[in-house]
Structure 1
Amino acid sequence: MNRRHFLLTATGFSLAMTVPAIAHNGDETIPGFDEAAASGIPVLVHVTAPWCEVCQAQKPIVAKLVGNGDFAKMKKFDVDFDSQKEILKRYRVQMQSTMIIFKDGKEIDRQVGETEPSVIEAFLRKAL
């Protein structure tokens, strides 16, 4: 019994060592993201799903803010939660309705599930 347990444990360990923790090849980028981030402009990545009620509530709030007024220079990138799984892995996103902001190419904050316009606006201001 000990020998069988040892073999199973050893096999499991060797398999675990051959599989990377995050299985993506690094090529799964959001088109235009790298250029925008490198340019130093504030960037928002918004992960949504068409069936997500929270996402649908966020969209008009974000649309009203991004590209207007203080947020005129902010660039927004939409990521589909259902079809862009490799991008979700790259940015370590686990839920739809996730918003990630970047400043000078670095992630500075993220929030999930927020639908209060004033809170979303305050969140986006962190990237200015």
Structure 2
Amino acid sequence: MIHATSETWNSEVLESELPVFVDFWAEWCGPCRMVGPAVEQLSQALEGRVKVAKVNVDESPEIAARYGVWSIPSLLLFKGGKEIGRTVGAAPREAYARFIEQTLA
């Protein structure tokens, strides 16, 4: 799992060869903490097929603002440097896995 920042955003997400599933979160966000383990499990399950990254909105607010992330957790899927899907709110790992598979299909 990658912790993307303003410095690494372009290289890790926008220029990635693989699709990238990005979790926008914050330390103080209870639902974000609930989502954390599901995102970590997805990172392992999808290794080699989809990159998983986390963006702390308090540390990189300009990235959140650029993509209109006003509610967290927000999970965005990028492919070829463009956002191709978005889901907002806490959900189980299976729901995120389905979202990724359906969006990439």
Answer yes or no: same fold by TM over 0.5: yes
Per-residue deviation, 1:33 = 3.8
State the match for 1:101 in structure 2. 77
Letter in 2 for 1:88: A
Structure 1 segments of 4 or more deviating over 3 A? 32-37
Report how far residue 32 of structure 1 moved.
4.9
Q: Which has the higher strand share?
A: 2
Q: Residue 100 of structure 1: CA displacement?
A: 0.4
C-alpha offsets along residues 6-42 of structure 1, whole Å, 9 cap, x if unaligned? xxxxxxxxxxxxxxxxxxxxxx835054354334301
Question: Which blocks of at least 5 consecutive residues in structure 2 are unaligned?
Answer: none
Contact kept, 8 Å, 2:13 with 2:78, in 1: the verdict is no
- Percentage of pairs with the same residue: 30
Q: How does 1:1-128 map to 2 (within 5 A)?
A: 29=6, 31-68=8-45, 71-73=46-48, 74-125=50-101, 126-127=103-104
TM-score, length basis structure 1: 0.66
- In the superposition, relative to structure 1, how do residues 77 and 35 fare at CA in structure 2: closer, same or farther (>3 Å)? closer
Compute the RMSD of aligned alpha carbons: 2.2
Q: Which has the higher contact order (CA 8 A, sep 6+)?
A: 2
Greater C-alpha radius of gyration: 1
Q: Which has the higher helix share?
A: 1
Q: What whole-Å deviation, never above 9, does each CA across 1:34-93 have from its counterpart, x for those lacking one?
A: 35433430101111111211111111011111132xx11222221112232111111221
